[in-house]
Amino acid sequence: MKVLGIAGSPRRGGNTDLLLAEFLKGAVNKGAEVKSISLNSLKMTPCQHCDACFKEGKCRIQDDMQKIYDELEQSDIIVLASPVQFLGPTATLKAMIDRCQCLWARKYILKIPPLNPERKRKVFFISVSGTRIKCMFEPSITIVKAWCHVLNIEYAGDLLIQGIDEKGAILGHPDALQKAYESGQNFVGAGLKPDPTKSG
Ligand SMILES: Cc1cc2nc3c(=O)[nH]c(=O)nc-3n(C[C@H](O)[C@H](O)[C@H](O)COP(=O)(O)O)c2cc1C
């Protein structure tokens, strides 16, 4: 079971980073192989809407996004972590999502699977917002769900925490880190095939 964590916050060691780290620790505890990528450290040009991907379903821009296409292919669980920024995901996470236009082209123009369909992928979404304003996560959830739909990935759960603003404030939350850890454990645990030698 391979788990890919994608950190969308520009603030390293910030609230969503801490929650993502806990999720990954929980996943490791259940035997998963985990990897984490911080989008802010990558060189990624926004989608140029050149439509070059309509020919072969591949993005012609040779930058760090090419690594992410490979990682998406090779992952069973993808954890997206992004704070709310101006009601949506961070610009870097949105840029990554937009660069999946070539996977959209595979599905809707070329009529081929966006990713290898032998792997049944799942997404878990982690987000925090500084305010407690109702519906603050809705734009991000809608965007992430649309991305999952295009890539044929199941949106399988989320952890959404409000009223967390200062760097590290999540450490003072009563149960968010514990919930992130347990989500990592549960996600991996649910995907593990039962051992036939132990059935009975
Ligand atoms: C540019 C920017 C925009 C933000 N927009 C919102 C917002 O629309 N609603 C909100 O509740 N919090 C907003 N926040 C607050 C962040 O969601 C909050 O500080 C969060 O804890 C940051 O998480 P991080 O440490 O993982 O980056 C914004 C913060 C920044 C820097």
Kindly state the percentage of the chain with pLDDT values over 70: 96
Which pLDDT score, from 0 to 100, does residue 193 have? 57
Q: With contact defined as beta carbons under 8 Å apart, do 40 and 9 qualify?
A: yes
**Over the chain, what is the mean pLDDT?**
95
Among candidate residues 116, 98, 87, the one with its CA nearest the CA of residue 39: 98
Q: With contact defined as beta carbons under 8 Å apart, do 32 and 5 qualify?
A: no
**Alpha-carbon gap, residue 157 to 106, rounded angstroms:** 26
Structural domains in the chain, CATH included, are: 2-11+25-191 (3.40.50.360)
Tell me the per-residue pLDDT of 111-125, one tens digit each, with 9 for 90 and over.
999 999 999 999 999
| Length, in residues, of the chain | 200
Counting ligand 1 atoms within 8 A of each CB, the residue from 16, 22, 40, 165 with the most, and so the one to mutate, is: 165
Mean pLDDT computed over 41-66: 98
Residue 84 near ligand 1, beta carbon < 6 Å? yes
Residue 86 near ligand 1, beta carbon < 6 Å? yes
For 4-28, give the DSSP string.
EEEE--SSTTSHHHHHHHHHHHHHH
Which pLDDT score, from 0 to 100, does residue 138 have? 98
Q: With contact defined as beta carbons under 8 Å apart, do 189 and 181 qualify?
A: no
Whether pLDDT at 141 is above 50:
yes
| 140 compared with 193, residue with greater pLDDT | 140
Tell me the per-residue pLDDT of 86-95, one tens digit each, with 9 for 90 and over.
999 999 999 9
Confidence of residue 103 (pLDDT cuts 50, 70, 90): very high
Whether pLDDT at 176 is above 70:
yes
Atom of ligand 1 nearest to the CA of 132: 11
Question: 84 alpha carbon to ligand 1 midpoint, in Å?
Answer: 5
Confidence of residue 192 (pLDDT cuts 50, 70, 90): low
Tell me the per-residue pLDDT of 9-37, one tens digit each, with 9 for 90 and over.
999 999 999 999 999 999 999 999 999 99
Question: 28 alpha carbon to ligand 1 midpoint, in Å?
Answer: 28
Whether pLDDT at 198 is above 50:
no
Which pLDDT score, from 0 to 100, does residue 148 have? 98
Which pLDDT score, from 0 to 100, does residue 191 have? 76
Which pLDDT score, from 0 to 100, does residue 39 have? 98
Residue 123 near ligand 1, beta carbon < 6 Å? no
**Alpha-carbon gap, residue 156 to 125, rounded angstroms:** 8
Question: 85 alpha carbon to ligand 1 midpoint, in Å?
Answer: 5
Query: 194: burial class by Cβ within 10 Å (0-12, 13-18, 19+)?
Result: exposed
Question: 19 alpha carbon to ligand 1 midpoint, in Å?
Answer: 15
